[in-house]
Homo-oligomer: A and B are copies of this chain.
Amino acid sequence: MEETTATAEKSGRERLLKLVRPDMERVEAAMRRDIEELSADMAPLLREILDYGLFGGGKRIRPLLTVLSWRLCGGRDMEIERLAMAFEYLHAATLFHDDVIDRSHMRRGRPAVNSVYGEVGAILAGDFLHARSMALVGELGGMEAMSVFCRATAAMIDGEFLQLANAREMNLSEENYFAVIRGKTAYLIAAACEIGGLAAGIDTTRQEGLRRYGLNLGAAFQIIDDLLDYRGDPQKTGKAVGNDFVEGKMSLPLILALDMAGDSARERLLELLVDEESRRSGVAEATAIMEECGAFDKTAQRAKALIVEAMTGLPEAASDEALAARLGLELLGGYVLNRQK
């Protein structure tokens, strides 16, 4: 059974990759061309940081969502990848700043921008990409796209503040958790979809559908991230198992466990959470408690329900290309659920 699921997953991933590879390559090429063109007026150090920070891996899910949403909505006759790359730029900008803020020194299995180029370089290069992403959306997407984009940016920053306020809050509600991940991840992913649709000239109903797809996909993406932190293969994720627990991060598996576990198990979890030393030594025990009370399964169910909900929003396809794009967006849902890293 597990074998079959794994095979199905692998085949889904392969179908997705085959379908979207040309788009991915166009996005990649557009980004390289853009940075190359801008670098005529750019300090050499900034160019170096951008090359390092932008082209060292990354799944490029956000720009892909823009391209697929645009094509699904009948978009044609524009270099959509130039609009799409704005979302990769903004995403990279937030990673640069996040790593400064969290004092993280590794990203995607190698030293983060702030480790290599210092905080100053990371802050400034983030500011540069932030500005560039907005310029692209303004230039290529028009006013309504700009307004969607700016709302998503504001929500993202707000999510960061909410997370700061939540830090070490043991009684974090599921609702509060969702408010943070919507802000930090889901709104921007929804914006990537909506703005792709807007560039194709869609109406409000289909825009709302794309938005719902993006919000739910984005939330599921973050939940799977939180699940992988406990249950992922460190060889694949590049992170130590239970790192979130050690940091005392109140992610969904832990929130659900505190809700689902029996009284004594809950007491024990709270005891283990109390300081970093006990979190570090107790991570295996905590994981076992969470497993046993069904928190991981419930977390996976939450993500799956979100993906199902996401699909209900997708607009209908009106052409063969649109149909292929819709298939891409559906396969992405499966990819998000089944990803190992």
Contact = CB atoms under 8 A, between A and B. Distances in A.
A138 B151 CA distance: 13
Nearest to A129: B157
Contacts of A127: 97, 127, 130, 153, 157
A14 interface: no
Interface string A120-156: 1001100110111011001100010011001001110
A128 B154 contact: yes
A246 B123 CA distance: 26
Interface of A: 38, 41-46, 97, 100-101, 119-120, 123-124, 127-128, 130-132, 134-135, 138-139, 143, 146-147, 150, 153-155, 157-158, 160-162, 164-165
25 contacts: A41-B154, A42-B161, A43-B158, A43-B161, A44-B165, A45-B161, A46-B157, A97-B123, A97-B124, A97-B127, A101-B119, A124-B160, A127-B127, A128-B154, A131-B134, A131-B157, A132-B154, A134-B134, A134-B138, A134-B146, A134-B150, A135-B147, A135-B150, A138-B138, A138-B146
Q: Shortest 8 CB-CB distances between A and B: which pairs?
A: A43-B161, A135-B150, A131-B153, A138-B146, A128-B157, A134-B134, A101-B120, A46-B161
